[in-house]
Amino acid sequence: MAAAREPRRDLAAMLVPLGRALTAAELPLLAEHGLSMWAYAVLLRLEAEPLRSQAALAESIGADKTRIIEVLTALESRGLISRTPDPADRRVRLLALTPEGSRVRDAAQSAIQSREDRLLAHYLPPTQRTPFLTALATLSALPPESLTDPDL
Amino acid sequence: MAAAREPRRDLAAMLVPLGRALTAAELPLLAEHGLSMWAYAVLLRLEAEPLRSQAALAESIGADKTRIIEVLTALESRGLISRTPDPADRRVRLLALTPEGSRVRDAAQSAIQSREDRLLAHYLPPTQRTPFLTALATLSALPPESLTDPDL
DNA sequence: GCTTATCGTCTGCCCGCGCATATCATCTGT
DNA sequence: ACAGATGATATGCGCGGGCAGACGATAAGC
């Protein structure tokens, strides 16, 4: 038997439902800005500095590149992103956030994070909030292969 | 503009991919014990003391009651759970973990949590681990409606 | 005894996701 | 100049999850 440890629930058993609930809480806030979750993920990922290639964008946000096409088309048509052929290789698209896109992204994120701040303030003591967020930021920044490494 | 806050990512944006990666990391460990994720969720939820009704079980683990039937049938046929009509109301099934079910559940959970302990030890400083787990336990214990409360 | 409701089981449907394939335009290497 | 590869786009398919409805057995209330 492994060394005794304090009884606790599995990390995934705690993280998955929590993530799902917080995602559900985001949806109405995003809807207020006319955004789907995928659209919001795109806005979070892009910046004024152009990102090279839709395939790279899809990969970095965990989306299917064939499914992201219409999300980008809708965002572009609303003027929230720009999508231009790379002069160096006209197969490739350069993607960038527009000022309007920054504004919408910031407004949505502000609403979401204000709500999250109130949630954390309501349910966690101050001494736990910063370590919790720091640890969560650390773990979520790890590449997935570090997290699923079988030799860990 | 809301009061300035330290820049951070949205909670869901950190929690969802982390939960997904840790779920993926669990799958091979569960497979070693012949368990699917739903089967494991059932074993985690049940105990020697019978739980009254399959519908209640399904609801408490977030499963579709019509989909859980075959999971229970497979677990019962392996002798990991018992499933008996309630003498007080023979429509209802009483569900309980068997000693063998406890053993398999404990072995799987031990493998999972040992791995999680190593992950946390590897990537988080000691001062962050306990507050992180405590906060996570607190938040994940909240009913979903507290987390999605629009008036928060 | 009859009506209504509930539990468990089975089946169907829809949707989103993941993956695959095909096509066109474009690029690279020979 | 040509063959092969790549990026973007469109489409199809299978699977899992969520939900609904139907059915048989059982229970509760009148």
Taking domain A33-123, whether its CATH number is 3.30.420.10 is answered by no
From B10's Cα to the closest Cα of chain A, the distance in A is: 6
* pLDDT in single tens digits along all 152 residues of chain B: 445 667 899 999 999 999 999 999 999 999 999 999 999 999 999 999 999 999 999 999 999 999 999 999 999 999 999 999 999 999 999 999 999 999 999 999 999 999 999 999 999 999 999 999 999 999 999 988 888 888 87
The ipTM estimated for the assembled molecules is 0.90
The average pLDDT across A39-55 equals 96
pLDDT at B4: 62
Whether A128 contacts chain B with CB within 8 A? yes
Chain B positions touching A129 (Cβ under 8 A) are 135
**In chain A, where the domains are located:** 33-123
Chain A positions touching B41 (Cβ under 8 A) are 13
Q: Name the residue in chain B with its Cα closest to that of A37.
A: B13
Q: Which CATH class is domain B32-127?
A: mainly alpha
Of B131, B142, B115, give the one whose Cα is nearest residue A138. Answer: B131
Helices (H) and strands (E) in chain A, counts: 7, 3
For residue A5, pLDDT over 90 is answered with no
Distances from the Cα of A148 to the Cαs of A139, B1, B18, B57, in angstroms?
A: 12, 40, 10, 29
The set of residues, in sequence order, having a beta carbon less than 8 Å from that of A88 and lying 6+ positions away, is none
